C-alpha cells in the first residue's frame, strides 16, 4: 500500500513543499519506507511509499527520460513485465525495474488509452508538461482509492480524504445530502463523500484536467 497526493493550480503558482509534505505526512501509514515531492508548472506531486518492487530504485515521483512526464502511483500492475518487453521493443528505455515506470512509457505510447492495457489495481496521476495536462485513473473495480477536490483555482487529488484537508484554505464542511444518504443506506453512494467539495473518482474511470482547468471524467471499462 502506498499513498499519493497533489495539486494543480490553474494560475501557475507553485504549491508549497510544506503543504505537499503535510498532505503526504498524514498518510504515512500507507507508505512508511520513503517519501517524495516534486513541484513545477504550478503542479505539485507527493508520495508515500511501501517498498514492494525494485526496493532500491522505486522512488517517486518518477519521470521519463527528459522529465516531461511525471507520475505518482499507488498499486500493483500484474502484467507490467509483458508490457515492459513490448515497450522496449518499440524503443522505450527504462531506468528502473518498477511497474511505475511502465505506466509512464505506456502513457507516452498510447496517451489516455494506456489504462486499457493495464491489469492490476491502481490509482495514479500523471502530469504531462508538454501538454500541461493532468491525467488520473482508478482501477477497474476501485480497489485503490482516489479522491479529488476541484474549484475555480485548483484541482487536488489524494489516496485519502485527510490529505485534501491539509490543503491551504481547505473546506471542512459536512455534505448534508451525503449524511442523509448514509443514514438511509448506511453508505455514501459514488461519487460523493461526507465532505462538501470532495468527491470519489468512480472505479474504471479516468479524469483529465486540461491547461485551462477544464475537467473531463470518462469511463474506460464496463
Q: What is the DSSP letter of 29?
A: G
Q: Is residue 183 classed exposed, middle or buried when 0-12, 13-18 and 19+ CB atoms within 10 A define those classes?
A: exposed
Q: Which of 1, 2, 26, 112 is catalytic?
A: 2
Q: Is 2 in the active site?
A: yes
CA–CA dist 104, 213 (Å, integer): 22
Measured in residues, the chain has a length of 222
CA–CA dist 44, 134 (Å, integer): 11
CA–CA dist 9, 185 (Å, integer): 36
User: Catalytic residue positions?
Assistant: 2
Amino acid at each position: 500500500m502506498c499513498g499519493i497526493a497533489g495539486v494543480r493550480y490553474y494560475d501557475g503558482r507553485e504549491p508549497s513543499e510544506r503543504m505537499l509534505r503535510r498532505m503526504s505526512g498524514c498518510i504515512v501509514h500507507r507508505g512508511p519506507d520513503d517519501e517524495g515531492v516534486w513541484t513545477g508548472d504550478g503542479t505539485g506531486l507527493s508520495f508515500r511509499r511501501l517498498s514492494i518492487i525494485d526496493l532500491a530504485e522505486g522512488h517517486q515521483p518518477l519521470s521519463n527520460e527528459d522529465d516531461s512526464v511525471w507520475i505518482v502511483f499507488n498499486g500493483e500492475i500484474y502484467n507490467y513485465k509483458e508490457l515492459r518487453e513490448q515497450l522496449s521493443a518499440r524503443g522505450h528505455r527504462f531506468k528502473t525495474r518498477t511497474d511505475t515506470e511502465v505506466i509512464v512509457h505506456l502513457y507516452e505510447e498510447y496517451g489516455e488509452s494506456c489504462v486499457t492495457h493495464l491489469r492490476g489495481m491502481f490509482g495514479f496521476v500523471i502530469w504531462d508538461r508538454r501538454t500541461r495536462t493532468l491525467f488520473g485513473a482508478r482501477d477497474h473495480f476501485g480497489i485503490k482509492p482516489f479522491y479529488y477536490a476541484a474549484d475555480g483555482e485548483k484541482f487536488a487529488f489524494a489516496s485519502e480524504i485527510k490529505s485534501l484537508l491539509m490543503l491551504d484554505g481547505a473546506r471542512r464542511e459536512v455534505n448534508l445530502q451525503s449524511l442523509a444518504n448514509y443514514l438511509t443506506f448506511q453508505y455514501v453512494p459514488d461519487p460523493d463523500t461526507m465532505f462538501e467539495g470532495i468527491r470519489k473518482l468512480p472505479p474504471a474511470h479516468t479524469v483529465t484536467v486540461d491547461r485551462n482547468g477544464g475537467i473531463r471524467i470518462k469511463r474506460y471499462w464496463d
